[in-house]
A and B are shown apart, each in its own frame.
Chain A
Amino acid sequence: TQLLEQSPQFLSIQEGENLTVYCNSSSVFSSLQWYRQEPGEGPVLLVTVVTGGEVKKLKRLTFQFGDARKDSSLHITAAQPGDTGLYLCAVSNTGKLIFGQGTTLQVKP
């Protein structure tokens, strides 16, 4: 079983649509991170959420950490083709990162 389950695995939408992707676990975490990875490149940190119920905004991206600190969501408003990529959630365990399998997002113009 995966420590972090991300859903959906794939998402293909039209430019301008809104979307939400999820990262779920049965474990409680002290913090959770969201990364974006483009093909042939390394993951790039988008945000770290630490407090249960916390909401962080990064332009059109809104990140939420669940009250119980077991899950998180990423909402993108008015998606653009430049948002296309693999979105990964990750948690720190003894200093190392454990990643979810990611959500592949394709935004069509």
Chain B
Amino acid sequence: EPEVTQTPSHQVTQMGQEVILRCVPISNHLYFYWYRQILGQKVEFLVSFYNNEISEKSEIFDDQFSVERPDGSNFTLKIRSTKLEDSAMYFCASSDRSRSSGNTIYFGEGSWLTVV
């Protein structure tokens, strides 16, 4: 079964450093997302991406965050200058938004980011 893959699975970084989290969405999907989950809290939407541009972003997704689809397969989340409160599990997700799939969004296994 096709799946969303994410790397790295776990990254520890110092406060102030830049981090890039990578994702390979499901190949025929056109809609891509990043979510995050702080330990013990609910899954929160960060950003959605379609047709090479951001279609929606949340209040969490401030100027420190950016997303990019550098080639036909990868979708990346960059945090420019990490803060302690950025420590969380970051999930990439993708969808084809078709009626037949019921707009099912498929999640990767997550990248656990620890900022120290």
Contact = CB atoms under 8 A, between A and B. Distances in A.
A94 B55 CA distance: 9
Given A48-B102, A96-B48, A98-B45, A42 B107 contact: yes
Interface residues of B, number: 27
Contacts, number: 59
Contact of A43 (B31, B44, B91, B102): B91
Sorting the interface of chain A by its residue count into under 10, 10 to 19, 20 to 34 or 35 or more gives: 20 to 34
Contacts of A105: none
A50 interface: yes
Contact of A92 (B41, B43, B103): B103
B110 A42 contact: yes
Given A95-B31, A95-B56, A97-B45, A44 B103 contact: no
A88 interface: yes
13 contacts: A40-B110, A41-B110, A42-B4, A42-B91, A42-B93, A43-B107, A44-B107, A95-B48, A96-B33, A96-B45, A97-B105, A99-B44, A102-B42
Interface of B: 4, 31, 33, 35, 41-45, 48, 55-56, 89, 91, 93, 95, 97, 102-110, 112
